[in-house]
Structure 1
Amino acid sequence: MTAAGGDQVSVRGGPWWWERRRSAALDVGLAALSALECGAEGVSFAREAGIPPVAGVVLGMSAGSVLAVRRRWPAAVVVVAVAVTPAEMGFLLSVVGLYSLAASESPRRVIGSLAAVSLLGTLIATLVRTGQAAPRDPVPESWVVPFASVTMAVGLTAPPLLAGLYVGARRRLMESLRERADSLERELQLLAERAEERAEWARDEERRRIAREMHDVVAHRVSLMVVHAAALQAVVGKDPEKAALNAGLVGEMGRQALTELREMLGVLRAGAGAAGAGARASSAVASDGVAVAEDGPRPGGTPAEPLPEGPGLDDLRELVGQSAAAGMAVDLSLHGERRSYAPEVEQTAFRVVQEALTNAHKHAAGARTRVRVAYRLSELATQVENEPPPGVGPVGSAGLPSGGNGLVGMRERVSALGGVFVSGPTDEGGFRVSAVIPSD
């Protein structure tokens, strides 16, 4: 029987050792026919042996009824059939017994041995009976009796034996195919579960990637806007020219932030449309089978849309200049010969410096900050270190909120490229952020 949504389970619905009631009915019916046959043949055997006919009938029916256990003990049925062969009993018992033995899971040597014994017993009994029944006058040819005996013995032994071997081999083949089908179904289920896990992981990774980009864009730009707005508020009545300059910087920061946000949202809208089309296609495929996407991180077989190409190392001077314009005392030093790195390596290094400067604006307003970049043959190293902020507290006066995700995002970015990220306070009371990113 098959449970809905579950594995196939074999249910035993027959009595004792029978798996089905119809199998029990078939074996009992064959045993009854064999018992009637052996009982009728037992009358002639009793007459020749000089025993009461009732004893011959009881002996024959007892031997024939053994056929009921042919599925449980097929070897015993063949042994009984061989034992009653000299009494000319058990034609049906011998044929069905040999078939059941050959079709069973018994060892090959047992099947071969009992088949040989049955063939030999049938040959001897047939040879004796044929010799006794042959007419004495005229004397038959010497080859007639052996030929007839061999032909009858082989005819009674070979067909049921070959038929049983064929049925047994076919049954084992079907069981093997069924097991393979069940194994394939389990493997497909595992693949489907793994595909779902990969799709869920890809969705989480995509969300984290977008969150990092949004954080980098919003946090840095808005932080500078807040700093310039505070400066604008402080000097608006004292120095109109500086107030106008700060207002222009605020507007420029806002325009840059809006531009980057529009680019990112445009990619997200395009990706959502492609993902919706892929989901519709995958739902159509799901009605026929299980679809497993091997190479695209998105469900539905649609590869992830790349985010717009971000800034690189050549934009560091502008980045540092924006922080300096906001009132930060920041120095940029470059070490080594300028090399070309992969875009994701340069963008990650830029984002690390950007986030570190943003944290310095938030938590160390007015502190001197040093930015170092080292161009190396096999890696790119960046370090941003700020001195202790002036004043009594560790937090500067800008009053900027912090979500605590900046350092986590930097670490994720660097680790994704196989780099090393270290951050922590310095002995002097400042804070240092270091990242080493492999060039490949």
Structure 2
Amino acid sequence: MFDVILALLSAVECAMLGVDFAGQTGLPVPLAVLMGFLAGGLLLFRRRWPIPVVLVAVAIMPANMGYLMVVVGLYTLAASEIPRRITGLLACMAVVGMFVVLLVHLHNLGDSDGDQQALWIVALIAGLMAVGMTAPPLLLGLYAGARHRLVESLRERADGLERELSLLADRAEERAEWARNEERTRIAREMHDVVAHRVSLMVVHAAALEAVAAKDPEKAVRNAALVGDMGRQALTELREMLGVLRTGDGTTRPPAPRAAVPKAPANGDGPCLDELDALIGESQRAGMTVELNVDGERVTYEREVEQTVYRVVQEALTNVHKHAPGAKVQVRLAHRVSEVAVLVLNGPADGVAADAGLPSGGNGLVGMKERVSALGGGCVWGATDEGGFRVSAVLPDRRAVVAG
């Protein structure tokens, strides 16, 4: 509506000035009025075609019409995205054309009044009027265009920031989901490590207790005591783990004192290499023949490294109890430069030993490999040519690697 009103005003202006133009040139008045009305009405298309509008305004300026069209056209031209070279050229054309028209008009007006003024005064007045009519709309258009571009850039930047925030929120949700999955996997792995070994030994002792209950009461009593000790140890470790899950701050509440409980891992951070003897002793008391060989001087590794080595040996011994009862087992631990290696090798199952019928979930070896890989190590397992099974892992001592 604003553009239509401006176009109507410009058309009316040009049509009214066309009457004077017809009187000066001898054209029919209706034709001059129609030409002026059509030329002034072109201002309606100033936003789409600002260059032709300004050119038409400059072209009809000698007919003493189109002043509103020049002012509005220059403003629109300066505010648009047209290159500044073209804008400057058209602005100069408009200033020169208006200067010439005003100079001639003022000179003729002075002659008609009989007042002969100096030409330089007329030229000065015409120049000031030409600049006064063209410079303000041109500068205002430049300001409006710069402001519009600034607002658009800020809006695009805000849209970009909004998209980035949305993307960051999606990524944060993905990371949170990944963290939840990792936490569930870690909890499942810890529960497996804590429960599987102790319960497997309890089942083995319970089977032995059932076998010797009638023949050897003293041995049955010892096996029953071992089953109770294993159960109490499992409950103690489960209580510590559940305490971590409840508090959520990594601290554990001290378990209630229990009488006659064999020494479990004393530190709240998990087992270490010094407790391998106790772990192997539990399997030996269950009737398994286990031999431990240590190569190299004892080195204190990071807590995660020692805990992972312990869990590898624990999982391997548990699998021997499940799948190869009565087999002989060799545990080899090697302290090397910047790494620690462990090998658990068992022979074929002894056919004389009774199968305890322990179930297997199939996740122990997978969890063990996840532990080792998370610390930058490697873990392999597989059957041997003699019919046994081997599990080996190598973990780097990251402190030694960094120091080196």
Taking structure 2 as the reference length, what is the TM-score of the superposition? 0.92
Per-residue deviation, residues 9-64 of structure 1 (Å, max 9, x unmatched): xxxxxxxxxxxxxxxx2111111111111000000001101111111101100110
Write the distance in 1 (CA, Å) between the matches of 2:6 and 2:109.
31
Aligned-residue sequence identity (percent) comes to 64
Alignment of 1:237-386 (within 5 A): 237-271=214-248, 308-386=268-346
Write the distance in 2 (CA, Å) between the matches of 1:91 and 1:396.
112
Contact 2:244/2:250, CA 8 A, preserved across alignment: no
Name the aligned partner's letter for residue 271 of structure 2. Answer: P
Max Rg structure: 2
Q: 2:360 aligns with which of 402, 425, 436?
A: 402
State the match for 1:283 in structure 2: none
Q: 1:115 aligns with which of 78, 83, 91?
A: 91
Write the distance in 1 (CA, Å) between the matches of 2:317 and 2:57.
98
SS at match of 2:248: helix
Distance 1:270-1:231 versus aligned 2 partners, 3 A rule:
same
Q: 1:86 aligns with which of 62, 66, 69?
A: 62
Contact 1:35/1:63, CA 8 A, preserved across alignment: yes
Write the distance in 1 (CA, Å) between the matches of 2:229 and 2:279.
13
Name the aligned partner's letter for residue 162 of structure 1. Answer: L
State the match for 1:199 in structure 2: 176
Per-residue deviation, residues 230-282 of structure 1 (Å, max 9, x unmatched): 111111111111111111111111111000000000111112999xxxxxxxx
Q: 1:390 aligns with which of 309, 327, 350?
A: 350
State the match for 2:372 in structure 1: 414
Please tell me whether residue 104 in structure 1 is matched to residue 80 in structure 2: yes
Please tell me whether residue 47 in structure 1 is matched to residue 23 in structure 2: yes
Contact 1:362/1:401, CA 8 A, preserved across alignment: yes
Contact 2:71/2:137, CA 8 A, preserved across alignment: yes
Please tell me whether residue 131 in structure 1 is matched to residue 107 in structure 2: yes
Write the distance in 1 (CA, Å) between the matches of 2:25 and 2:370.
98
SS at match of 1:134: helix
Name the aligned partner's letter for residue 406 of structure 1. Answer: G
Write the distance in 1 (CA, Å) between the matches of 2:145 and 2:381.
72
Quote how far apart the aligned CAs of 1:391 are.
2.7
Write the distance in 2 (CA, Å) between the matches of 1:437 and 1:396.
35
Per-residue deviation, residues 190-236 of structure 1 (Å, max 9, x unmatched): 01111111111111111111111110110000000000011111111
Write the distance in 2 (CA, Å) between the matches of 1:176 and 1:338.
65
Distance 1:157-1:313 versus aligned 2 partners, 3 A rule:
same
Please tell me whether residue 26 in structure 1 is matched to residue 2 in structure 2: yes
Name the aligned partner's letter for residue 220 of structure 2. Answer: A
Contact 2:333/2:343, CA 8 A, preserved across alignment: yes
Write the distance in 1 (CA, Å) between the matches of 2:391 and 2:376.
17
Name the aligned partner's letter for residue 230 of structure 1. Answer: A
Quote how far apart the aligned CAs of 1:396 are.
6.5
Name the aligned partner's letter for residue 174 of structure 2. Answer: E
SS at match of 1:402: coil
Write the distance in 1 (CA, Å) between the matches of 2:172 and 2:354.
48
Write the distance in 2 (CA, Å) between the matches of 1:340 and 1:273.
23
Name the aligned partner's letter for residue 111 of structure 1. Answer: T
Distance 1:92-1:396 versus aligned 2 partners, 3 A rule:
farther
Quote how far apart the aligned CAs of 1:156 are.
1.1
Write the distance in 1 (CA, Å) between the matches of 2:45 and 2:39.
12
Q: 1:189 aligns with which of 152, 158, 166?
A: 166
Quote how far apart the aligned CAs of 1:130 are.
1.2
SS at match of 2:341: strand
Contact 1:323/1:330, CA 8 A, preserved across alignment: yes
Per-residue deviation, residues 313-366 of structure 1 (Å, max 9, x unmatched): 000011111101101111110010000000110000000000000000000000
Q: Which runs of 5+ in 1 are unaligned?
A: 1-24, 275-306
Taking structure 1 as the reference length, what is the TM-score of the superposition? 0.85
SS at match of 2:359: coil
Name the aligned partner's letter for residue 98 of structure 1. Answer: L
Please tell me whether residue 69 in structure 1 is matched to residue 69 in structure 2: no
Quote how far apart the aligned CAs of 1:427 are.
1.3
Write the distance in 2 (CA, Å) between the matches of 1:148 and 1:332.
112
Please tell me whether residue 233 in structure 1 is matched to residue 191 in structure 2: no
Aligned length: 382
SS at match of 1:334: strand
Q: 1:427 aligns with which of 360, 385, 392?
A: 385
Write the distance in 1 (CA, Å) between the matches of 2:364 and 2:154.
57
Note the aligned Cα RMSD (angstroms).
1.7
Write the distance in 2 (CA, Å) between the matches of 1:217 and 1:157.
88
List structure 1 segments (4+ residues) > 6 angstroms apart after TM superposition. none
State the match for 2:402 in structure 1: none
Per-residue deviation, residues 154-206 of structure 1 (Å, max 9, x unmatched): 01110110011110110010000000000000000001111111111111111
Distance 1:96-1:197 versus aligned 2 partners, 3 A rule:
same
Q: Which runs of 5+ in 2 are unaligned?
A: 252-266, 399-404
